[in-house]
Amino acid sequence: MAQNDLHDIARALVADGKGILAADESDGTIKKRFDTIGIESIEDNRRAYRDMLFTTPGAEEYISGVILFDETIRQSALDGTPFPKLLESKGIIPGIKVDQGARPLALADGETITEGLDGLRGRLEEYYALGARFAKWRATYSITDELPSQYCIWTNAHALARYAALCQEAGIVPIVEPEILQDGTHTIERSYHVACKVLEALYTELFDQRVDVEGTLLKPNMVLSGYDASNRAGVDEVAEWTLKCFYKHVPAAVPGIVFLSGGQSDEDSTAHLNAMNAKGPHPWEISFSYGRALQTPALNAWAGKPDQVEAGQRAFYHRAKLNSAARSGLYAPEMERETASV
């Protein structure tokens, strides 16, 4: 694939008013989600759930791409259409999670390294043939007074860049996801300090490994106070600290920043996104790549019941619409109470 094609796909994923649905939950994560509504995590239920999301009428107004799991990219809708083909038919770009999870980092107590580079070139070729045009790789970092270590920061940056280079070789746009876990009591200043170090290392490695950043997207956490902090930063403060960090360390050539929601509530993740866009314009598009924060209302409304599919779709459509509004700084909390129709 030509370099310009990667640029076009990356830009399409952050098109005006649109963001990405992360539907790439591992078997363990989707089981936890299904446990909350009391249904068994078997393949038929997982397929039915994804079918409900992907066939939502009008979702393409607000959703540019969907990150799939290995099982999901091989599944088909109720009418037999492979999920990647179904998404393409709606103008939604299929993507794929390619990392194989975080594992303990050797000689670094409490820290992790993401695995999955072995055999990745072959897997990317297969995923491209199945319809994937972008991919995602997640690295995780814990915050304490001492962590993350430079060792953890740089080994994960190196792996993220190796993954990104292999993606671009395969004609696939890489989303690089350095997630700094916000569990703990740390201040927003500490979160900012760690985020700066992580992004500095990431872009050093991406440049050193010849990755064309115009054909990539960044999927980071927002700069937040620790979830257990006694005095947590408000919405505007989060936006200010996050933008301050990104202006220092994210090249203007990157087409877009697609935030993860992490452990934030649905409303908080939308409000923070809105506050950042309200302070624009910025050199990059500021968008979303949410999983739980887009899916929770839909999951609860659907509850595994065939006669509740439309209710689930209405909830998903409404949540996507609110985040689309936040992309332009036009979201307001009272919009949460509006009833959307599909």
If phi > 0 it is left, if psi is from -120 to 50 it is alpha, else beta; for residue 64 that is alpha
Of 274, 273, 281, the C-alpha closest to 252 is 281
Q: Could you say which DSSP state residue 200 is in?
A: H
Length reported for the chain:
342
Distance CA 71, CA 76 (A): 10
Amino acid at site 127: Y
Structure tokens, 47? 């397929």
Task: Answer yes or no: are the C-beta atoms of 218 and 20 closer than 8 Å.
Answer: no
Beta strands in 205-333 (DSSP E): 217-218, 256-259, 285-290
Catalytic residue from among 97, 197, 219, 321: 219
Active-site option among 177, 179, 205, 240: 177
Neighbouring C-beta atoms of residue 249, cutoff 10 Å: 18
Do the beta carbons of residue 238 and residue 194 sit within 8 Å?
no
What are the φ/ψ torsions at residue 195 (nearest 5 degrees)?
-60, -40
Q: Pairing state of beta strands 102-104 and 112-114? A: antiparallel
Q: Comparing C-alpha atoms, which of 153, 171, 173 is closest to residue 10? A: 173
**3-state SS track over 63-89:** EEEEEECHHHHCCECCCCCEHHHHHHH
Report the alpha-carbon distance of residue 342 to residue 335 in Å, rounded: 16
C-alpha 135/C-alpha 154 separation (Å) is: 21
Neighbours of 190 (CB within 10 A): 18
Q: Is 219 a catalytic residue?
A: yes
Token pair recorded at residue 211: 């990755």
Active-site residue numbers? 177, 219
